[in-house]
Amino acid sequence: MTRVFKIKEKIWMYNGPVAWHFVTIDKETSKKIKQIPILRRGWGSVPVNVTIGKTSWKTSIFPDKDDVYLLPIKKEIRTKEELREGLIAKIKIEVIEDLGPETSAI
C-alpha cells in the first residue's frame, strides 16, 4: 500500500486569534491515507514526514469535518521556503508507520 503521496495545494490561513497556515489535502489523497492500517494519535491525527522544497520535517495531519486532512505549515517552514497564503506548494507526504508509545487504536 502506498504510504508516500505527492500533492500540489494552496496554502490558506485560519481566520482566528492565531495565524495558523494550512494546506487542505485533496479528498482522493485523504481517502487513500485513511485506508492505511496504522494506529492514529489524538483527534485521529496521522503522523507524517513532509517535504516542501528542500525542507523536511515530522508533523501530523488532522482530519477535518469535510472528510479531508489538514496539514499545518509552521512559520519556520514558510520562512525557509518563502511560502505565504495563496501560494501553491508542491508537497511530499510520507505516512509514518512506527508511532511509539503515545498512540491509540484506530
Query: Do residues 99 and 14 touch, judged by C-beta distance below 8 A?
Result: no
In this predicted structure, what is the pLDDT of residue 71?
A: 98
69-72 vs 21-25, strand pairing mode: antiparallel
User: What is the distance, to the nearest Å, from the Cα of residue 11 to the centroid of all Cα atoms in its chain?
Assistant: 12
> Average pLDDT of each block of 10 consecutive residues along the chain (106 residues)?
91 89 97 87 88 97 95 96 97 83 44
The count of other CB atoms within 10 Å of the CB of residue 22 is: 20
CB-facing half-sphere around the CA of 34: CA atoms within 13 A: 15
- Is 0.95 surpassed by the pTM of this model? no
In this predicted structure, what is the pLDDT of residue 37?
A: 83
In this predicted structure, what is the pLDDT of residue 11?
A: 98
